[in-house]
């Protein structure tokens, strides 16, 4: 049958990335406590397309995804990137797996257990025979405003914030490490389950450690910089202000690259 995609393009212009988005796939991810856990990922796959070709072969992306190892890790991503480049006769290939990751968390006083879910992604790029992998996670925290605490005779405003981190990996990096960094960077972690004794502890602990978004993003950046498995990072903090009709925001970027949205 006629291969229309491989025919000449009406406009001889190269395309940086062409492929498929929002595929859903069940897979396993590495879990430090249990070895692995099963989840469902949304997948984006793409390659470059030379100016002389009219289109890419979409079915080959699905075939490559079908044939990959169903455990998501450094080696399976590396193999998928190489396979995409080979199947599509491309110079570069890209992937992004976005998925929820669950961690059993214990309340700070009663030790009541509950699962917390974190939005994560693993992004990969193959260019000029070099594979780069980026791991990302969003961690909710609580912040207490230092200014509000300093000027108020009673109380201070507090709110939920999120710490979004994307890091370039050097070897195996546990998601739990990034989650801990995010939790330790705000006034308090956010918990799935709290009894009254826990709420008292969380409130008093947070009010003893007030933090602006600038403080939180610096706290996270220092911890990310010190981690032996992290080559570069981008960290953003967004605070959903409780007494303002806007969010507060801060970012430190030591990647200088496009990131997975």
Q: Is residue 261 part of a domain?
A: no
Give the position of tokens 């109380």. 155
Each residue of 71-117: pLDDT tens digit?
A: 999 899 999 999 999 999 999 999 999 999 999 999 999 999 999 99
Q: Is residue 259 part of a domain?
A: no
Q: Is residue 258 part of a domain?
A: no
Classify residue 35 by burial, with Cβ atoms within 10 Å: 0-12, 13-18, 19+. exposed
Task: Flag whether pLDDT at 9 surpasses 60.
Answer: no
Domain that holds residue 157: 17-253
Q: Is residue 9 part of a domain?
A: no
**Phi and psi for 246 in degrees, rounded to 5?**
-160, 170
Where are any strands of DSSP class E within the chain?
Answer: 15-31, 35-49, 71-72, 92-106, 113-127, 130-144, 158-169, 188-189, 230-240, 247-253
Is this prediction's pTM over 0.75? Answer: yes
Each residue of 210-226: pLDDT tens digit?
A: 999 999 999 999 999 99
- Which range (51-60, 164-173, 230-239) has the least confidence? 51-60
Q: Is residue 183 part of a domain?
A: yes
Q: How many domains does the chain have?
A: 1
Q: Is residue 34 part of a domain?
A: yes
Q: What is the CATH number of the domain that holds 70?
A: 3.10.270.10
Q: Is residue 121 part of a domain?
A: yes
Q: Is residue 10 part of a domain?
A: no
């Amino acid at each position: 049958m006629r291969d229309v995609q491989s025919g000449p393009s009406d406009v001889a212009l190269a395309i940086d990335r062409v492929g498929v988005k929002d595929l859903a796939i069940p897979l396993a991810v590495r879990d430090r406590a249990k070895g692995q856990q099963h989840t469902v990922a949304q997948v984006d796959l793409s390659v470059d397309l030379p100016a002389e070709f009219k289109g890419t072969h979409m079915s080959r992306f699905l075939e490559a995804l079908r044939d990959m190892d169903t455990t998501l890790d450094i080696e399976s991503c590396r193999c998928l990137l190489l396979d995409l480049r080979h199947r599509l006769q491309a110079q570069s290939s890209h992937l992004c797996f976005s998925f929820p990751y669950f961690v059993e968390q214990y309340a700070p006083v009663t030790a009541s257990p509950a699962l917390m879910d974190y939005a994560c992604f693993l992004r990969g790029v193959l260019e000029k025979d070099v594979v780069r992998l980026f791991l990302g996670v969003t961690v909710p925290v609580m912040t207490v405003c230092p200014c509000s605490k300093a000027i108020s005779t009673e109380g201070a405003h507090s709110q939920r914030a999120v710490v979004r981190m994307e890091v370039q990996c050097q070897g195996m990096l546990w998601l739990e490490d990034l989650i801990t960094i995010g939790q330790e960077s705000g006034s308090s972690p956010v918990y799935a389950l709290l009894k009254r004794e826990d709420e008292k502890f969380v409130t008093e602990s947070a009010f003893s450690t007030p933090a602006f978004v600038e403080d939180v993003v610096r706290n996270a950046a220092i911890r990310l910089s010190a981690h032996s498995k992290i080559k570069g990072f981008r960290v953003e903090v967004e605070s959903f202000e409780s007494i303002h009709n806007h969010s507060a925001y801060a970012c430190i970027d030591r990647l200088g690259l496009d990131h997975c949205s």
